[in-house]
C-alpha cells in the first residue's frame, strides 16, 4: 500500500531502512529515486513481517496493527469525525502525525536523545540538546537572523516573539527547491539538505554545530572561542584572565576566566566593546524592545549584577536592549555579521582601553615606519651575529653518501632570541610533542628533549637533509640553535597544524571535504616523489604519518620531521639497518621485521596514510565490532567483498567524487602490498592519481594477520623461511 500526496511529492507506505529487515510505516520523497524517509510512525515497535494493517477509527485516531489485533502505533488525536479520511498533504505531513523526527541512526528510526527547537528559558533562542544537556545554540534573534550565524541565501525567516507567541518559521525563496532538515544522532548535528537533480543526490547546505566553537560552553565562563585562533581556540575576554592558569595552560578551559581587576560598582565601572560575536547564553538575560543603546548602558551600570549589554535588534541602525547577569557563557568570535557586545570591566581597565582607541590615526605615520625600521635593524643584527657554523660531522654509518656532502651554512639563532619569541617556551603556545621533541609557535620551533635517547644524531641529520630541500610540499627550515644541551630547529609556521588534528577529529574532519582531501593526497605524493627522485640525493623519509604532514593557511600539505630520514647516493636503492626506528602502524613489514628500507618503505607508509585520510580512522588502534584486524585488513576485506566505498567516511561518499575516492582506495591498497617489488613507485602513484588509466588488481597487503608486527608469532607473510637480522627497535608513538 502506498498513499501519494496530491502533487506527487510525497508517499506514505511501509519500508525497511538501510540493512534492517524490520518494516516501518513512513513518509518519503516520491519523485526522487533515492528513497529518503522524512517521517516514521512505528519507530519503537517495528513489524517483523509483512502483515501490517493501517486503519482509521471513528474517533479520527490512526492505528497501525499487526495481524489485525495488536496495535504497534497510533496517533494521539481523538477528534470525532463522521467520515474520517487519511490525507497526505503536499507538505509531506499527515493530518495527525508524531512530532519527534529524530532517528538513532540510518538503520534504526527509534527516537534518539538529540532534540532541536525554540527554548524560552531566559529569552528565546534555538537550542540543540543531547539529552538534557545543551550542545549548541543559535544566540539571540537580532532582527533578521540569530546572532550566531549569517542569513541564508536559500531561505527567508520569520521569528514571532511577543507576549502571546514565540515561533520560528523559514520559507524557501525558490519554491522548486526540495529541502529537508535531519537531526543526525550519529554526528550529533542538525543538518539541512537540498536535492541536486543533476547529481541525483542530497547536498548538505547547513550543519549545526558549524564548527568546533559552536559546542556549548567550550571555553568556560567569560571565555571566548575563536576557530581562527589556532592552535588555541579559547581566549579570555578582554579585561579577564584565567581563573586557574595552570589548568588553562593545560588546555582545560572549564574553569573559565575572571576579571583582571576587581569591579567597584559603587564608585563606578566601565564597559569595553567586543565586536562580531555570538551573544552569550540567554538563560540569565533580560530584554527591552523600547530602550535605546544609551538607556541600556545606564540601566546596566545601575545594576551591579549586569555584566554585559547590547542592541536587541541590529537592523536599521540598532534598537532595543539586551542585558546579561552573572558569568557570560558560550561567546563565539565571528569574522563578520556578529553583534557588538559591551562588557563590564573595572573603571581603570575601561579608561585604558579608551585611551588606546583615542590614539589619532596620524600617529600611524610615525609608529609604522618606526616599527618597520626597528624590524629591519633587528634583521641586520641577526645577520651580523649569525654564526657560520659548519655542520660537517658524520651523521652515522648508515648515511655514507653524506661524506661527500659539501659544507653548508644555516642561520643559527641565539637561544635567548628563540626563548623570547616563544615567551619563554610558554605552554600556552605549545603545538604538540612527540617522542623526542616539543613544538612551539609562531615560528614553529622544534626543541629536542634533553632526555631523548636520540637527539643529536637526528638533529644533525635533519639539518643536513632538509636545509638542502626546496619543494612546495616540504616544510621550510629557517634556522637552528645549538647552545649547551639545547638543540632547536626553526621552521616556517603552519597555522593549521598537522593533518591528524583534522582527519581524526569528529568535528574538524568536516572541514576537509573530499576535494580538499584529494588536494592533500596529491600534495603529499608530489612531496615524496621529490624526495625519492627529483632532489639532489634520494631521500627515504622513514617516518611518514599524519602528524608529520603540516597544513598551511590554505590547507596545502607540507611534509616535516626528517630526523629519521636517510639519503642514498648513486644507484643505491635500498639499505639495511640494525636499528629500526619509526612509528608503529606506518612501518613496512620488510623494514619492521628485517631492517630493510627503501623508497618502497615510504610507499607503504603513504598507502597507510591514504587509507587513513579516506576513512578518518587510525590504522593503529582501529576497532570494528565483530571483526578483528587493523585498518589495512578491514580495507582488504571490503575490497574482496566488492564494497570498498564502505571504508570511506560517510559524508565523503555522499558529497565527494565517488569514482575519484574509489580510485584512491585502490591506489592505497596497491601501496600496502606485502612485497616491496609489487608496490608502485611514487612517480607511478602521482600518475595514477591524476589519470584515468586502468589500475592493476592489488595483492594481499602486509601485516594482514599480525596483531602487532613485533610479536614473536607475527609473520610478514613470506611463503618460505627467511634469514633475519638481529635488530633493535625504537618505536615512536603516532601523535
* Residues labelled catalytic: 543
Cis ω before 209 (30° cut-off from 0): yes
Neighbours of 595 (CB within 10 A): 19
181 closest CA partner among 165, 164, 193:
193
Q: 161 by DSSP, 3-state: which?
A: strand
> How many helices (H) does the chain have, and how many strands (E)?
14, 38
Phi first, then psi: give them for residue 671, nearest 5 degrees.
-75, -25
Task: Give bridge partners of residue 551 from the DSSP assignment.
Answer: 557
d(CA 42, CA 603): 51
Q: 128 by DSSP, 3-state: which?
A: strand
d(CA 518, CA 525): 11
Phi first, then psi: give them for residue 365, nearest 5 degrees.
-65, -25
d(CA 492, CA 579): 31
d(CA 341, CA 323): 10
CA distances from 277 to 209, 273, 339, 585 (A): 16, 10, 5, 42
Neighbours of 197 (CB within 10 A): 10
Instruction: Give the strand pairing for 579-583 and 728-732.
Output: parallel
d(CA 471, CA 474): 5
Q: Which cell numbers hold the place of 327?
A: 558569568
d(CA 206, CA 220): 26
d(CA 25, CA 54): 9
d(CA 358, CA 280): 28
Q: Is residue 55 within a helix (H) or strand (E), and if so which, with residue range?
A: strand 52-56
CA distances from 340 to 5, 123, 183, 274 (A): 47, 18, 31, 6
% helix, strand, coil for the chain, step of 5: 25, 30, 45
d(CA 596, CA 708): 18
Q: Which cell numbers hold the place of 37?
A: 524517509
Torsion angle in degrees (nearest 10) through CA of 472, 475, 479, 482: -160
CA distances from 618 to 126, 590, 666 (A): 35, 21, 18
Neighbours of 267 (CB within 10 A): 8
Amino acid at each position: 500500500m502506498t498513499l501519494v500526496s496530491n502533487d506527487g511529492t510525497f508517499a506514505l507506505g511501509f519500508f525497511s531502512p538501510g540493512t534492517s529487515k524490520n518494516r516501518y510505516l513512513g513518509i518519503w520523497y516520491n519523485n526522487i529515486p533515492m528513497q529518503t524517509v522524512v517521517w516514521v510512525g512505528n519507530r519503537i515497535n517495528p513489524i517483523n513481517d509483512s502483515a501490517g494493517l493501517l486503519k482509521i477509527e471513528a474517533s479520527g485516531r490512526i492505528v497501525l496493527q499487526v495481524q489485525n489485533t495488536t496495535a504497534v502505533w497510533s496517533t494521539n488525536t481523538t477528534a470525532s469525525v463522521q467520515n474520517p479520511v487519511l490525507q497526505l498533504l503536499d507538505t509531506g505531513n499527515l493530518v495527525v502525525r508524531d512530532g519527534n523526527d529524530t532517528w538513532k541512526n540510518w538503520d534504526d528510526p527509534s527516537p534518539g536523545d538529540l532534540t532541536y527547537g525554540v527554548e524560552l528559558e531566559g529569552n528565546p533562542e534555538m537550542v540543540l540538546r543531547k539529552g538534557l544537556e545543551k550542545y549548541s545554540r543559535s544566540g539571540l534573534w537580532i532582527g533578521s537572523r540569530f546572532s550566531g550565524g549569517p542569513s541564508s541565501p536559500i531561505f527567508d525567516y520569520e521569528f514571532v516573539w511577543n507576549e502571546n507567541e514565540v515561533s520560528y518559521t523559514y520559507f524557501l525563496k525558490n519554491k522548486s527547491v526540495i529541502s529537508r532538515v535531519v537531526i543526525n544522532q550519529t554526528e550529533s548535528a542538525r543538518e539541512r539538505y537540498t536535492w541536486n537533480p543533476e547529481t541525483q543526490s542530497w547536498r548538505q547546505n547547513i550543519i549545526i554545530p558549524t564548527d568546533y566553537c559552536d559546542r556549548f560552553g567550550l571555553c568556560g565562563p567569560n571565555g571566548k572561542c575563536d576557530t581562527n585562533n589556532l592552535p588555541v581556540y579559547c581566549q579570555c575576554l578582554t579585561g579577564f584572565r584565567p581563573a586557574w592558569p595552570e589548568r588553562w595552560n593545560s588546555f582545560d578551559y572549564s574553569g573559565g576566566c575572571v576579571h583582571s581587576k576587581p569591579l567597584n560598582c559603587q564608585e563606578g565601572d566601565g564597559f569595553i566593546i567586543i565586536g562580531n560575536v555570538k551573544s552569550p547564553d540567554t538563560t540569565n538575560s533580560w530584554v527591552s524592545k523600547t530602550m535605546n543603546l544609551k538607556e541600556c548602558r545606564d540601566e546596566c551600570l545601575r545594576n551591579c549584577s549586569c555584566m554585559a549589554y547590547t542592541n536587541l535588534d541590529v537592523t536599521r541602525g540598532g534598537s532595543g536592549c539586551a542585558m546579561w547577569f552573572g558569568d557570560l557563557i558560550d561567546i563565539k568570535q565571528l569574522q563578520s555579521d556578529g553583534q557588538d557586545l559591551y562588557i563590564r570591566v573595572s573603571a581603570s581597565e575601561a579608561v585604558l582601553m579608551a585611551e588606546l582607541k583615542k590614539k589619532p590615526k596620524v600617529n600611524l605615520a610615525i609608529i609604522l615606519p618606526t616599527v618597520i625600521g626597528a624590524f629591519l635593524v633587528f634583521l641586520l643584527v641577526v645577520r651580523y651575529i649569525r654564526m657560520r657554523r659548519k655542520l660537517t660531522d658524520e651523521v652515522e654509518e648508515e648515511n655514507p653518501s653524506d661524506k661527500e656532502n659539501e659544507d653548508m651554512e644555516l642561520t643559527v639563532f641565539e637561544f635567548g632570541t628563540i626563548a623570547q619569541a616563544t615567551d619563554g617556551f610558554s605552554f600556552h603556545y605549545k603545538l604538540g610533542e612527540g617522542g623526542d621533541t616539543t613544538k612551539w609557535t609562531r615560528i614553529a620551533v622544534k626543541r629536542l628533549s634533553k632526555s631523548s635517547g636520540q637527539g643529536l644524531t637526528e638533529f644533525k641529520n635533519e639539518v643536513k637533509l632538509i636545509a638542502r630541500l626546496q619543494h612546495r610540499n616540504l616544510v621550510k627550515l629557517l634556522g637552528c640553535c645549538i647552545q649547551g644541551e639545547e638543540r632547536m630547529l626553526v621552521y616556517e609556521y603552519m597555522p593549521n597544524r598537522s593533518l591528524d588534528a583534522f582527519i581524526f577529529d569528529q568535528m574538524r574532519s568536516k572541514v576537509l571535504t573530499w576535494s580538499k582531501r584529494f588536494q592533500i593526497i596529491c600534495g603529499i605524493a608530489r612531496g615524496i616523489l621529490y624526495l625519492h627522485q627529483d632532489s639532489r640525493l634520494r631521500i627515504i623519509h622513514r617516518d611518514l604519518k599524519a602528524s608529520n604532514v603540516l597544513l598551511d593557511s590554505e590547507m596545502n600539505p607540507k611534509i616535516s620531521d626528517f630526523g629519521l630520514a636517510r639519503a642514498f647516493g648513486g644507484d643505491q636503492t635500498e639499505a639495511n639497518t640494525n636499528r629500526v626506528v619509526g612509528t608503529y602502524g606506518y612501518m613496512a613489514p620488510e623494514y619492521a621485521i628485517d631492517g630493510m628500507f627503501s623508497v618502497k618503505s615510504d610507499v607503504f607508509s603513504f598507502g597507510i596514510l591514504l587509507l587513513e585520510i579516506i576513512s578518518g580512522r587510525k590504522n593503529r588502534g582501529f576497532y570494528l565490532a565483530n571483526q578483528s584486524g587493523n585498518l589495512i585488513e578491514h580495507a582488504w576485506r571490503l575490497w574482496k567483498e566488492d564494497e570498498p566505498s564502505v571504508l570511506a567516511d560517510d559524508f565523503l561518499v555522499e558529497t565527494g567524487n565517488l569514482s575519484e575516492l574509489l580510485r584512491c582506495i585502490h591506489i592505497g591498497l596497491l601501496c600496502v602490498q606485502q612485497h616491496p617489488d609489487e608496490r608502485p613507485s611514487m612517480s607511478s602513484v602521482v600518475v595514477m592519481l591524476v589519470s584515468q588509466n586502468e589500475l592493476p588488481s592489488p595483492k594481499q597487503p602486509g601485516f594482514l594477520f599480525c596483531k602487532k608486527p613485533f610479536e614473536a608469532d607475527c609473520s610478514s607473510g613470506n611463503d618460505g623461511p627467511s634469514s633475519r637480522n638481529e635488530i633493535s627497535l625504537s618505536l615512536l608513538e603516532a601523535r
